[in-house]
Amino acid sequence: MNRIAFIFPGQGSQAPGMGRDVATDPAVENIYRTADRVLGFELSRICFDGGAENLRDTSVTQPGVFVTSLVFDRLLRERGISPAVVTGHSLGDYTALVAAGAVEWTTALRLVRRRGELMAKVNRYTPGAMAAVLGLPLDRVEELCEDVSSRPGHFVQVANINTADQTVVSGDEAGVSALVKAAKSSDARDAVPLKVGAPFHSELMRPIEEEFASHLDKEEFQAPSIPVVSSVSGEYIESGEEARALLRAQPTAPVLWSKVLRLLVDERVSTLVEVGPGRVLTNLARSEAPRTPAMRVGTLRALDKAVERLRPHSA
């Protein structure tokens, strides 16, 4: 049986002009107007016409990626392509929960905006960084993190387990810089600093935990209407309360993306469709699950190609 998985990207997938080529489609035009009204600023203008610097502000980036992903989810469904299962990478968990009917989209948008604001606030008083380490096994990266963190004034930890070949680390600037050097000295194929706005998925996010939890606790979550795989647990979300608890843990918990992909492969998903800007998740899928076809849908051209290819196989 053909089973399509929609996989939703997180921060780092943003790009100037995202969503502009579909903004006038009647199916999504109102989404942008509503998002601008809910947020109190013209997110649509920043997404369509802003430069890379405009999109580096975490409190803007996260709503931008979320809304753009939601728009392409809507466009695929309007064209008869529906998922059998959904998941998301970090921020993408919110889009996945909306796609599964577990939370209303404007509620999720407000939460995403507040999440971004709080994460940016952390970076102002504890400047942080992230880096991708390629070509070292996870246990070796963990050893290097422990060694670097034992030095005074240094902290770094594993933040994303993306594939067997790629691990992302997060921490303070000194810790991540030292880890990059240590990884290269340990025969990593590469270690690359990432252009992000804060030390996501690390203990440095602990100060915002209670405040963000207070916002989550005010909102209503339902049991998903279609299967959702959490990037926090790498397992299915069974209830609204579980969804809330996983989102509460998300800022400090590592992203278990490799585990998510293995679950989808084991469940015999036929095609992985990255729904939203960029190609980060498509590239990871091709590395970790090369036998499962993967494609991205984040432009009008890619949308048309995906519809032509997938329409006979929609769930």
Of 44, 90, 202, 258, the active-site residue reads 90
- Residue 295, token pair as written in the block: 């494609």
Partners of 273 in the β-ladder:
6, 295
Residue 80 CB neighbours (<10 A): 11
Catalytic site includes residue 89? no
What gap in Å lies between CA 149 and CA 157, rounded to an integer? 8
Reference 156, options 132, 133, 138, 129; nearest CA is 129
Whether 186 is catalytic is no
CB atoms within 10 A of CB 267: 14
Closest C-alpha to 171, from 199, 145, 190, 139: 199
Determine the Cα–Cα distance for residues 63 and 12; give it in Å rounded to an integer. 12
**What SS3 class is residue 193?**
strand
Cα angle 34, 50, 62; round to 5: 55
- Given 201, 202, 231, 258, which residue is catalytic? 201
**Rounded Cα–Cα distance for residues 86 and 104 (Å):** 16
Spatial separation of the C-alpha atoms in residues 75 and 218, rounded to whole Å: 30
**Residue 256 contacts residue 232 (beta carbons within 8 Å):** yes
Q: CA torsion angle for 241, 271, 251, 256 (degrees, to 10)?
A: 100
Beta-sheet strand order (sheet of 4-8): 228-229, 85-88, 4-8, 271-275, 294-297
Q: What residues are annotated to the active site?
A: 90, 201
